[in-house]
Amino acid sequence: MEFYDVIVISAGTLGLQAAEQLKMHQANYLIIEQDEGATLRDASWDVAIKTLIETAHVFHTRNKYDALGIEGAQHVIANIPEILAHIRNVQDDLISGLFQRLEEHPVIHAQASFLDANTLKADSRSLKADKILICTGSKPIIPGIFRPLKADILTIDKLFEQEDLPQSLAVVGMGCRGAELGQALARLGIEVFAVEPTATIAAVSDPEINQTAQYIMRQDMRLYMETQLQTVEKEDGVYRLIGENKTLEVSGILLCAGRSPNLQGMGLNKLNIPYSGGTPVCDRQTLQIKGRPIYVTSVDDNGRSLPQSIANKIACEHALGIRGQAEPESSLRITFTDPPVASLGQKKTGAIEGRALLDNRNDNGLEEQGMVKLYASSEGRLTGAEMMAPAADHLAHLLQLAIQQQLSANQLLDLPFYPASLEAGLRDAFTEIAGKH
């Protein structure tokens, strides 16, 4: 029997992040890589999505050429096969770097299965640890009506493996990933029909921000909110998505209906742990399975749970006893649409609200628009925010710092703001809060 402080199962991005934290804290740890290269390939999806988004953004700027006096926009084309090939090259570069990082840690290549909550069997070896981190990544959720066509339907796992993409796509699910991918693909010239069963985009909770998000997304795609699909058919290469009052015909389907932890074959069923919806019940603050020394860092990426990198950091530090609760940073979520969507902190009962419309005339003279909602305590201290606005990813980080420093609206108004900057646009929201408490 071998003994460790922490065992990390799988060496994708999350597994390597965990290992690097454990190494920094001088823990006695081991990585079990179950399928050499597979989790590293899975780990490259984030960078693949970001590369697609950036490519779509660059291509979309051609629509501004005339206003800027630049000619030739009509000759700029998006070569989808070449774009996909470029993204795969970026993935390959990332994976090569991950393999090099893996060599810096103690690792074995074996299939891990639980004997009890602290003990794993890895081929012929028996391994015991105080804490076990499961970093096996996630798999797409396939709702029942899509399962008969599972082999033909695209998911994030398969999207970037394609040599080309259909001329029209139904993007089913407008959570964070669906919104990012739907907008990017639409801006590259694919006709996108976005279907969302709920009333919100990218897990936005504020009604006004949600309306803003829907308006902006409709500039690029056909958007069907609160649409419940009843059946899906395929005939002669055409997919029919049939709802109660709507039938869509498309040449492909991209399913973004959420993801669940990839836990099959690990023997977790032997441990009598609580499940909900096929997933172990974990503490939302620590990612620890209830009543067990096991952490599952592969969380849903659809905007309903902690961002994966933050979840991983929290699980590691809790396993090492460094901290027991998620700090305010864990609430920061960003969806990289254009403009981005961001939410952070909390909107507490009785919160004071401040609102700002950001009409940004940027350096090239073209306007971009968005909305920011700020939330504060009765004393005027900032507690949270939600926005869809230009540079929301940057504004959200600045506002998160203000929350962690427990700054009030009045204190923030005392700070210098450069005229005509996006940050200066937040003053309207700070002023509104300051006038209400």
The string of pLDDT tens digits covering residues 324-340 is 454 544 478 899 999 99
Tell whether 324 and 213 lie within a shared domain: no
| 24: its two tokens | 């920094």
Tell whether 132 and 264 lie within a shared domain: yes
pLDDT in tens, 270-306: 898 888 877 788 887 778 888 899 998 765 544 444 5
| 268: its two tokens | 């977790």
At a CB cut-off of 8 Å and minimum separation 6, what does 82 contact? none
pLDDT in tens, 28-87: 999 998 776 666 666 688 899 999 999 999 999 999 899 889 999 999 999 999 999 999
Range of the domain at 169: 144-255
Tell whether 238 and 160 lie within a shared domain: yes
pLDDT in tens, 338-388: 999 999 988 877 889 999 998 655 544 445 678 999 999 999 999 999 999
* Alpha-carbon span 224 to 230, nearest angstrom: 14
**SS3 annotation, 254-293:** EECCCEEECCCCCCHHHHCCCEECCEECECCCCCEECCCC
Residue owning tokens 């994966």: 308
Contacts of 73-79 with CB under 8 Å at 24 or more apart are: 78/188, 78/189
pLDDT of residue 390: 93
Tell whether 292 and 411 lie within a shared domain: no
* Alpha-carbon span 8 to 122, nearest angstrom: 12
Report the CATH number that the domain containing residue 423 is assigned in CATH: 3.30.390.30
Number of residues that this document lists for the chain? 437
Residue in 2, 66, 63 with CA at minimum distance from that of residue 30: 2
Tell whether 286 and 366 lie within a shared domain: no
Report the CATH number that the domain containing residue 164 is assigned in CATH: 3.50.50.60
Tell whether 267 and 127 lie within a shared domain: yes
